Structure 1
Amino acid sequence: MPSPLCHALLRNLDLFRPLSDAQLETALHGAAPCRLEAGALAYVQGAPGAHFFVLLQGFLKVSQVTPEGEQIIVRYVNPGDMFGLACAMGQTCYPATVQAVQESLCLAWPAAAWTPFTASHPQLGAIALQTMGHRLQDAHQRIQELSNDEVEQRVARTLLRLINQSGRPTHDGIDVGFPITRQDIAEMTGTTLHTVSRLLSDWKQRGIVASGRKRIVLRSPAALARLCEHTPPPMDCAACLSCRDGSPAMETSIPVLATH
């Protein structure tokens, strides 16, 4: 059975907050806690879809290997997200690999429990369907970006998307929220490590981002949002900070990405 810590974490998640204590106990029947060290795998692409999961704490990276042997990062899993839903999609194997980017804690249910799980708690089943719908929409949006956007626009959109999903304010801007490398961004945007490094170095000089080892901080959300557009910003705005609305680190609102 899940520990009292797991119960406390569940109560802080939107997914389980509406459940009564009795409903929560029923939902947790058959669940087992699973702690993942940074770099550990929850499962690999092509393995039997034996479980479905909810992430309680930490962050996970979802990646796929294409038929051509290229690895791409599909998305990141945030606390409160369901993942490993092969059983919900009628698939026998996991379509992707899931790896912890930092120490993480999740709950795992046997795949055979999916039908009684959703039957007993229709609201959780509805959220799972909504989750799969959002992922399909995100996949379509990324395909459109790969087809229509320049590399700089794709990288800017990806960073804004990560900030919208998991960003946390810091003294010098808005941190992505978890360890992320330039290679990770390259795999998310269909470009090269060299290109991502060049863009981030340029944006750092212009005061748009601050970056370090496995860390990216957005200092000017408005400036990065302008880079997502097809029209280039005015010359002065591309080169200096004084024409922006206040100090970059003082910007508190995060522009929400438009859905194509």
Structure 2
Amino acid sequence: MKKNNTTASLKNVSLFHDLTQLEIEKVEEITISRFLSKKSIVFSEGSEKEAVYFIKQGLVKTYKTDENGHEQIVSFLKAGDMFPHTGFFNQNPYPATAETIVDTELLAIPLQMFEHLMMNTPSIGIKMMRVMGDIIMELQQRLQVLSGKDVKQRALSFLLKLAEQHGIEKNENTIIINVPMTHQEFANSVGTTRETINRLLNQLGKDDILKVDRNRIVITDVEALKEQMEFK
């Protein structure tokens, strides 16, 4: 049963979408399951890359730390996501620190074992590199979009992205985002201060567009939020 669960989880990973059943089973043979409690460090920025991880269940944030010790959040990751985004195809150290937000189940694939697998089954590496190319293009497009926005637009865009990736629709105009996130983490995600985010979220609350508590964000009027994106 455990093996079947792991195989099913690997099939849900976009990086493995093009693999055959036999190829998926070969990947499963070198996959290690790990359970980490909330606020556990998966790996630290700058440490030697030993494995690539996939989220089976849970949430993970990745962040970089500047010389003053301030966090710059890179991403929030959900079930099916891979990290680090640099993946299998370079030997550079981990580019950011990864920390679990809630109790999380991970699948880890050791780099050395994966390299040996690719040598024996090169079709796996070829298919995965094609998908990685698409992922890199998507990340570049997101960076270009965000770089052209002011703080408010970046924050609203981030909210809509969270809704798309982590949201649960309550009705056609209400989305619940069950991601426990502090105002400081929100600010770190869009490159601004906590005070700025406090003011923005308070105003959106007064406008009956969203509600925020310690464990979730509820967008109560999605259309109004999108209109805010268009209004400058």
1:194 aligns with 2:198: no
In the alignment, which residue of structure 2 is the partner of 1:4? 4
The 3 A distance-change label for structure 1 pair 60 and 138 is same
CA distance in structure 2 between the aligned counterparts of 1:67 and 1:132, rounded to whole angstroms: 27
Query: Which of 115, 138, 144 is matched with 1:134 structurally?
Result: 138
1:140-151 maps to which residues of 2 (within 5 A)?
140-145=144-149, 149=150, 151=151
- Return the offset for 1:26: 0.9
Q: Does 1:182 align with 2:183?
A: yes
Q: Give the superposition deviation at 1:74.
A: 0.9
CA distance in 1 between counterparts of 2:186 and 2:218 reads 14
The whole-number CA distance in structure 1 between the counterparts of 2:114 and 2:144 is 27
Check whether the contact 1:62–1:75 (CA below 8 A) recurs between aligned residues: yes
Check the 8 A contact 1:39/1:99 in 2, yes or no: yes
| Alignment-mate amino acid for residue 175 of structure 2 | I
Residue 72 of structure 1 and its aligned partner are, at CA, apart by 0.6
Task: Give CA deviations for 1:109-147 in whole Å, capped at 9, x if unaligned.
Answer: 1112444448232333322332233223323333333xx
Identity of aligned residues (%): 26
Match of 1:73 in 2: 73
In 1, the alpha carbon distance for the partners of 2:113 and 2:139 equals 23
CA distance in 2, matches of 1:87, 1:94: 10
CA distance, structure 1, for counterparts of residue 208 and residue 169 of structure 2: 16
Measure the CA separation in 2 of the matches of 1:229 and 1:89: 39
Contact 1:58 1:103 (8 Å CA) reproduced: yes
- Equivalent residue number for residue 50 of structure 2: 50
Distance of aligned partners of 1:161 and 1:86 in 2 relative to their CA distance in 1, 3 Å threshold: closer
Larger % of helix: which? 2
TM value normalised by structure 2? 0.85
The whole-number CA distance in structure 2 between the counterparts of 1:212 and 1:104 is 21
Report how far residue 196 of structure 1 moved: 1.3
Cα deviation code 1:55-88 (max 9, x no counterpart)? 2221110101124543111111122122125464
Counterpart CA distance in 1 for 2:79 and 2:87 is: 21
- Count of equivalent residues: 226
Contact 1:49–1:87 (Cα < 8 Å) also in 2:
no
The one-letter amino acid paired with 2:202 is S
The structure-2 alpha-carbon separation of the partners of 1:7 and 1:168, relative to structure 1 and needing over 3 Å to count, comes to same
Partner of 1:219: 220
List per-residue Cα deviations over 1:211-259 (Å, max 9, x = no partner).
112311111111111222253xxxxxxxxxxxxxxxxxxxxxxxxxxxx
* Segment drifting more, 134-143 vs 216-225: 134-143
The answer to whether the 8 A contact 2:30-2:114 is kept is no
Per the alignment, residue 165 of structure 1 pairs with 165
Change (3 A) 1:143 1:67: farther
TM-score of the superposition, structure 1-length normalised?
A: 0.77
Higher relative contact order (CA 8 A, sep 6+): 2
Gaps of 5+ in 2: none
Letter in structure 2 aligned against 1:110: P
Contact 1:51 1:84 in 2 (8 A): no
